[in-house]
């Protein structure tokens, strides 16, 4: 689709600009979006057609997921009923065939879950995965562990100086580097990530791991077209317990992250 990639980049950038604003009035979004269109010389005269086409694609993707999910549920239900019958009849061949099909279905379900719970850009987990895995419906943790809140340093300047494609490449590279911690990585929004360790490691061990990870990242020289630059991140870290409120923990981490950011500026 003509202009779709450009519009996607512009939309992501405007979202990032608004990420610190609790309530973003539509007029502010429109002003920022229009300004970015002019800056990048993007023309969307047939805006209604373009919006409808994008919505059609999104709806088609959602419908596809729903249809696949419904079909898999129906197959699992049918297999379960047939398995009960096979057990009663002591039909080992039929039971073996059913188990093979259920194994295949399980793989399909896992692939579907991965597509729903994965951030398309960085291939990290997304917020939906975070809530499904760690947080119950009332915003409380369902387990204990250590959580780290990460925010990129100077990311806005990278976007402004080198463009949104360069910014995307930075996020992809950073996510790949953070995955080396072997913990659960979540893209929380924009240039923010969360890392969650289970409670089988100590805060001191995690701090050493994160500091080492950051130092190695800072030594990397990233190149985009004729430009080269270095990147880094700041982070806040704390432990949490089962039934702790997620937003309360996130607020603590946000404060610690900004304290760390001030220390990074002094280096």
CB-CB contact of 132 with 125 (8 Å): no
Q: Is 231 in contact with 123 (CB distance < 8 Å)?
A: no
H or E stretch at 41:
none
Residue 124 confidence (pLDDT):
95
* Distance of alpha carbon 267 from alpha carbon 256, whole angstroms: 17
Give the residue, 11 or 108, on which the prediction is more confident: 11
Per-domain residue ranges for the chain? 4-39, 47-116, 127-265
The structure tokens listed for 35 are 């300004």
Write the pLDDT tens digit of every residue in 96-106: 776 777 676 66
pLDDT at 8 over 90: no
The topology under which CATH files domain 127-265 is Alpha-Beta Plaits (3.30.70)
The predicted pLDDT at position 1 comes to 43
Q: Is 53 a residue whose pLDDT tops 80?
A: no
Whether the pLDDT of residue 170 is over 70: the answer is yes
Lowest-confidence segment of 87-96, 113-122, 253-262 by average pLDDT: 87-96
Nearest to 191 by CA among 174, 214, 211: 174
Neighbouring residues of 52: CB distance < 8 A, sequence distance ≥ 6 = none
pTM assigned to the model: 0.65
Alpha helices in 4-91 (DSSP H): 4-17, 26-39, 47-89
- What's the DSSP call for residue 199? T
161-198 CB burial, b ≥16 within 10 A, e <16: ebbbebbbbbbeebbebbeebebbbbbbebbbbbbbbe
Phi, psi of 84 (to 5 degrees): -60, -45
Task: Look at residue 69 and tell me whether its pLDDT is greater than 70.
Answer: no
Query: Lowest-confidence range among 59-63, 180-184, 229-233, 240-244?
Result: 59-63
Here the tokens at position 37 are 């269109």
Question: Tokens 């607020």, residue?
Answer: 251
Q: What is the pLDDT of residue 224?
A: 85
Residue 170 to residue 195: CA distance in whole angstroms: 18
Q: What is the pLDDT of residue 256?
A: 96
221 DSSP 8-state letter: P
């Amino acid at each position: 689709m003509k202009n779709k990639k450009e519009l996607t980049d512009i939309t992501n950038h405007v979202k990032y600009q608004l990420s610190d604003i609790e309530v973003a009035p539509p007029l502010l979004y429109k002003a920022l979006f229009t300004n970015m269109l002019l800056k990048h010389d993007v023309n969307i005269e047939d805006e209604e057609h373009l919006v409808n086409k994008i919505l059609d694609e999104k709806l088609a993707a959602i419908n596809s997921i729903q249809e696949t999910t419904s079909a898999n549920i129906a197959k699992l239900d049918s297999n379960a009923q047939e398995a009960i019958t096979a057990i009663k009849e002591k039909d080992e061949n039929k039971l073996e065939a059913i188990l093979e099909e259920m194994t295949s279905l399980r793989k399909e379900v896992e692939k579907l879950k991965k597509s729903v719970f994965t951030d398309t850009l960085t291939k990290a987990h997304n917020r939906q995965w975070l809530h499904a895995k760690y947080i119950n419906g009332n915003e409380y943790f369902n387990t204990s562990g250590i959580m780290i809140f990460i925010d990129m340093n100077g990311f806005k300047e990278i976007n402004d100086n080198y463009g949104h494609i360069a910014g995307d490449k930075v996020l992809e590279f950073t996510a790949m580097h953070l995955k080396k911690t072997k913990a659960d990585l979540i893209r929380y929004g924009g240039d923010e990530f969360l890392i969650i360790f289970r409670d089988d490691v100590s805060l001191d061990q995690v701090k050493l791991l994160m500091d080492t990870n950051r130092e190695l990242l800072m030594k990397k020289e990233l190149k985009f077209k004729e430009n080269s630059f270095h990147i880094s991140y700041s982070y806040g870290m704390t432990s949490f317990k089962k039934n702790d409120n997620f937003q309360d923990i996130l607020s603590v981490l946000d404060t610690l992250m900004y304290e760390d950011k001030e220390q990074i500026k002094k280096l």
